[in-house]
Structure 1
Amino acid sequence: MDVTEDAVRDVCTNAVFERGERYLSEGCIHEIHRVDTTVTAVVSGSRQYDVRVDLATDGFAPWCDCPYDGPGACKHVVAVLLRCVDDPPPDEGDRLDAELDGADADELRAFLRDELATDADLRDRFLARVGEPTRQSVDELRTAIDRRFEETNPEYHVVFEPIDFTQWFALANEYREQGRYASAATVYRALVESLDDNMERVDGAYDHFSRAFSRALDGYVDCVVTTERDADAVTDAVAFLEERVTSGTRFLAEHFEKAAVDLREKADEQSCE
């Protein structure tokens, strides 16, 4: 997958592009790896920042755990993308495939079993992949998400830097791909509730948290509508959204109100089919 300088310029401001160029020229990129179209790297700045981009996605789906809150991608992401323009890292996907093809089935099973025993995130996604509905409630899931807010800046009640919600979005997406929309809706709702209740703690990276909230809310509405045309699920979801209009974060009220309207309209459209 070729990455062009023009494509990189499209995802950032001119000033950020220049800073990204400087970071690249100063050798600030470390531990860069590519598997298929996903590139991960560590970029040195005021501290070490983790960066992830997808070269096959429009806009590159950038992620960085720096506190940048301006328009477009940050300088750390731009530096990594420019590295992919000038000197793309080798794709390690073929090597992984070769090792998997040659691996002993029993050893591979034992390795996976050990990893599943110690990695709760991987275990959840594995169970979702093999068709296991979620056994976690909204409250249990959001407790884990809330903990991420608390751990980000434990000494203060504010959050300055982005939080990586990838594990929950990946879990929801896994359920969707398996057609388990009720389980996906449970994950999305946990994200919506946690983001709404913690949004007033956010004092930086506003765009990041707003995008995460919108993505979770849209996913929740879509999955509720698709849940086997369950009228009770729609009714409960609308009630939840309408309650959040008045009880949730003030500047998110219009998003909840619009989501409730959209949910009713989509449900009505399906009932007429």
Structure 2
Amino acid sequence: MELNEDTVRDVCTDAVFERGERYLADGRIHEINRVDSTVTAVVSGSRQYDVRVGLATDGFAPWCDCPYDGSGACKHVVAVLLRCVDDPLPDEGDQLDAALDGADADELRAFLRDELATDANLRDRFLARVGEPTRQSVDELRTSIDRRFEETNPEYHVVFEPIDFTEWFDLANEYREQGRYASAATVYRALVESLDDNMERVDGVYDHFSSAFRRALDGYVDCVAAAERDAAAVTDAVAFLDDRAMSGTPFLAEHFEKAAVDLREKADEQSCE
């Protein structure tokens, strides 16, 4: 996506754009880096906020852990984008490539293995990338996602700020790219269940959580339809969606109902191919 002031304005309101300009002028952006088309930064406000944007992605795929719940991107994201407009960042991807090309294979293997041994999320993505099926069940994945809700505001049941679900969406995407749709569906279902069960504790940032829920639900339907060829498996998935429509968060019911209809239609299309 082309990056200029006009495209930045397209992803936020006029008021937020002006606040982002002020944040940039006040020097509130720190630790800003770019690797390939992904930019990460820390922006100081009432506290330090982590920001991530994708310069090559439609809408820049903005992420910020601030509690903003308005339309479009927040002022922290806007400030980072405007910083990239004013002073394009050097791409550190070439440096990484050069370091990888010059690394000793045994040292690289040892480093990677040490990192994989201590970072479960990275390990899951690595195994997905090399073609291994998911080693975790829906319930196991849900435990990790639910923990993120608990950790966000440990003193209260209510969640006031966004939660970054990127690691699970990235994991699901790895499986999809490998054609392991059943594994991807497992990850998406864990996200769907956790978001549905925790949605009523969300106070503010509704757009963020609703968007994550819809993304996970759409991914689940797509992957079940792609992975399952027998009618019984699709029937089980539809039954899950129908049950959630009846027993889950009331204002999400219509999304589950629509997903059940979409899954039946996608399954019918698959069977006709």
Could you state the TM-score of these two structures normalised by the residue count of structure 1? Answer: 0.99
Q: Residue 22 of structure 1 aligns to a residue in which SS? A: helix
Q: Is the 8 A contact 1:188 1:220 kept in 2?
A: yes
CA displacement, residues 141-174 of structure 1 (integer Å, 9 cap, x when unaligned) = 0010000000000110000000000000000000
CA displacement, residues 127-150 of structure 1 (integer Å, 9 cap, x when unaligned) = 000111012110000010000000
Q: Which moved more, 1:229-238 or 1:254-263?
A: 229-238
Q: Which moved more, 1:28-37 or 1:222-231?
A: 222-231
Q: Percent identity?
A: 89
Structure 1 stretches of 4+ with a deviation exceeding 4 A read: none
Report the equivalent of 1:141. Answer: 141
What amino acid does structure 2 have at the position aligned with 1:172?
A: A
CA displacement, residues 208-227 of structure 1 (integer Å, 9 cap, x when unaligned) = 00000000000000000000
Report the equivalent of 1:39. Answer: 39
Q: Is the 8 A contact 2:172 2:183 kept in 1?
A: yes
- Show structure 1 runs of 5+ residues with no match: none
Structure 2 CA distance for aligned equivalents of residues 198 and 52 of structure 1: 24
Report the equivalent of 2:242. Answer: 242
Whether 1:16 and 2:16 are equivalent positions in the alignment is yes
Structure 1 CA distance for aligned equivalents of residues 260 and 18 of structure 2: 43
CA displacement, residues 57-84 of structure 1 (integer Å, 9 cap, x when unaligned) = 1100000000000000000000000000
What amino acid does structure 2 have at the position aligned with 1:202?
A: V
- Give the root-mean-square deviation of aligned CA atoms: 0.8
Whether 1:180 and 2:154 are equivalent positions in the alignment is no
Q: Residue 49 of structure 2 aligns to a residue in which SS? A: strand
Q: Is the 8 A contact 2:228 2:234 kept in 1?
A: no
Report the equivalent of 1:209. Answer: 209
Once the 2 structures are TM-superposed, how far is the Cα of residue 204 of structure 1 from its aligned partner?
1.4
Once the 2 structures are TM-superposed, how far is the Cα of residue 230 of structure 1 from its aligned partner?
3.3
Report the equivalent of 1:100. Answer: 100
Report the equivalent of 1:156. Answer: 156
Whether 1:124 and 2:121 are equivalent positions in the alignment is no
Q: Is the 8 A contact 1:238 1:260 kept in 2?
A: yes
Q: Is the 8 A contact 1:142 1:191 kept in 2?
A: yes
- Show structure 2 runs of 5+ residues with no match: none
Structure 1 CA distance for aligned equivalents of residues 158 and 79 of structure 2: 29
What amino acid does structure 1 have at the position aligned with 2:219?
A: G
Once the 2 structures are TM-superposed, how far is the Cα of residue 232 of structure 1 from its aligned partner?
2.5
Q: Residue 101 of structure 2 aligns to a residue in which SS? A: helix
CA displacement, residues 194-216 of structure 1 (integer Å, 9 cap, x when unaligned) = 00000001001100000000000
